[in-house]
Structure 1
């Protein structure tokens, strides 16, 4: 009888390689790391370049508690070590095929993380560094010089704008930049970007406090700029007592006129935007609430959304 026949059990190691690759394409990178220890075939299949386009470390879960209401986030040695261990495992399996790397928003990236990633991702095109307060300029240079093919960079803010932008411009040829800056994005930051990365085509300052003079400087000096995103921004008039405002209506005719030369100028109409309708509550934390609940991952420029 059919019921008495012994069914043939197939070993995972004998499964067709292409089938394993398809299976791994449906998993997130954490599952891939765990499954890679099952057998030799499961260890080899993840090394196929197809599943490794993006490594999103925000999938890591940590017991962080309440995130501070300022862009200095949270970190401890155990979490930092865990992130580094997972990063090394994922990069080992990716075999240098990674094109996009997104670091965790709630954990600092230090020199160990950045250098480890840079040495193993020679083909990287997109880098998202939402928190990098523990990185040194020396560490950043060591990392960035390995990413000569980098095209898109997202950073939380720029502590040393001229030094950082000079390093990026010296080793890379980025065409897209996003700066998420709760503190003021002023003419100093703008001059640094223009001086060392003048060929930018896309710049997003979404959810940032922006000096109006900086906007004028951007649009007058960056001749190759095609897309400028200042949606959900707070705008500052430079005066003895700065005036904070939101929305398209507050920019002024001169800025709007300059923006007409761009292919896209993304800005909110205050009366139509729920995020901007509330106005400024407190200078230091007025923008921070916009980084919560992963709002930072979304951008009106689709190529800068993660």
Structure 2
């Protein structure tokens, strides 16, 4: 190089740590768009575990319509193609480094394959069959935290978690929560430490079952819940406007008992309007990610 010529450095000559720092500012679409194919140095940086501890797909929604038969949603082919591509490339680049996987509540997936997963946020699984979710749970022995929808038959998934995920301790249920669900939790997950049922219809008897049957529970979030009490037929459920002394006494052993049942609370009003089954699509984008229990907020 002649005197006076400037030194030209190529992008691929950048230190790997610097490349990783730059790539940390990229979203999942940018990371999977082909930068790993630029050169060997970029591919090495793209495979750094720091980039893949959390795979956040909460900005990705399915193009779907509701249908009357199972799985109750029909998802457009393009939505499936985009999701399949993102997951395939992410799983390849991460090389098993993904510990937290987050899906949007309107992203309907059909299968899960992420070994070593510790936290899963999957608010809807209409299209995942029982055999599929059970097979997936068996692949996650390190699973500690799950955000899931309310389902009509919870024992099968809770039993799989109990048998395969020995460190499981944090659960969030988005939807209706009745005595059947509560009894299932106490039977299969007695060591649960954190439970969030926020913005749901919550049966009072179910709440008592939880407080009596989960001796290791430390944090219970029932903020903005529509608390109801069953009445003998033909009467309908009675809405409870205040937490009674019995519940407060049983909850006094908890480290945190998070509640909100205020008439002037906008979230409480929304839960009541939606009859305990939140229509999150009507509200601010990302509102569904909130949680008063800090370990469950996104």
What TM-score does the superposition give when structure 2 sets the normalisation length?
Answer: 0.88
Q: CA deviation at 1:106?
A: 1.4
Partner of 1:213: 205
Matches for 1:25-36 after TM superposition, within 5 Å: 25-34=24-33, 35-36=35-36
CA gap 1:106/1:46 in 2 versus in 1, 3 angstroms: same
| 2:179 paired with 1:180 | no
Matches for 1:42-53 after TM superposition, within 5 Å: 42-53=42-53
State the Cα RMSD in Å: 2.6
Partner of 2:147: 154
What TM-score does the superposition give when structure 1 sets the normalisation length?
Answer: 0.86
Partner of 2:161: 168
CA gap 1:216/1:25 in 2 versus in 1, 3 angstroms: same
Q: CA deviation at 1:135?
A: 0.8
Q: CA deviation at 1:261?
A: 1.1
Partner of 1:107: 107
CA gap 1:50/1:278 in 2 versus in 1, 3 angstroms: closer
CA gap 1:291/1:251 in 2 versus in 1, 3 angstroms: farther
Give the 3-state SS of the residue equivalent to 1:160 in structure 2: coil
Give the 3-state SS of the residue equivalent to 1:123 in structure 2: coil
Give the 3-state SS of the residue equivalent to 1:235 in structure 2: strand
Counting matched residue pairs gives 289
Q: Give yes or no for contact 2:193–2:217 (8 Å, CA) kept in 1.
A: yes
Q: CA deviation at 1:8?
A: 3.5
CA gap 1:256/1:104 in 2 versus in 1, 3 angstroms: same
CA gap 1:128/1:73 in 2 versus in 1, 3 angstroms: farther
Deviation string 1:237-287 (CA, Å, 9 cap, x unpaired) is 1103233436xx52222111111111111110414522214673464x763
Matches for 1:239-250 after TM superposition, within 5 Å: 239-240=231-232, 241-245=235-239, 249-250=241-242
Partner of 2:18: 19
Q: Give yes or no for contact 1:185–1:208 (8 Å, CA) kept in 2.
A: yes
Q: 1: distance between equivalents of 2:198 and 2:58? A: 20
| 2:123 paired with 1:130 | yes
Deviation string 1:188-232 (CA, Å, 9 cap, x unpaired) is 001111111110000000111110000000001110001100001
Structure 2: 5+ residue stretches without partners: none
Give the 3-state SS of the residue equivalent to 2:246 in structure 1: helix
Partner of 1:203: 195
Q: 2: distance between equivalents of 1:290 and 1:300? A: 20
Q: 1: distance between equivalents of 2:80 and 2:48? A: 28
Q: Which moved more, 1:75-84 or 1:198-207?
A: 75-84
Structure 1: 5+ residue stretches without partners: none
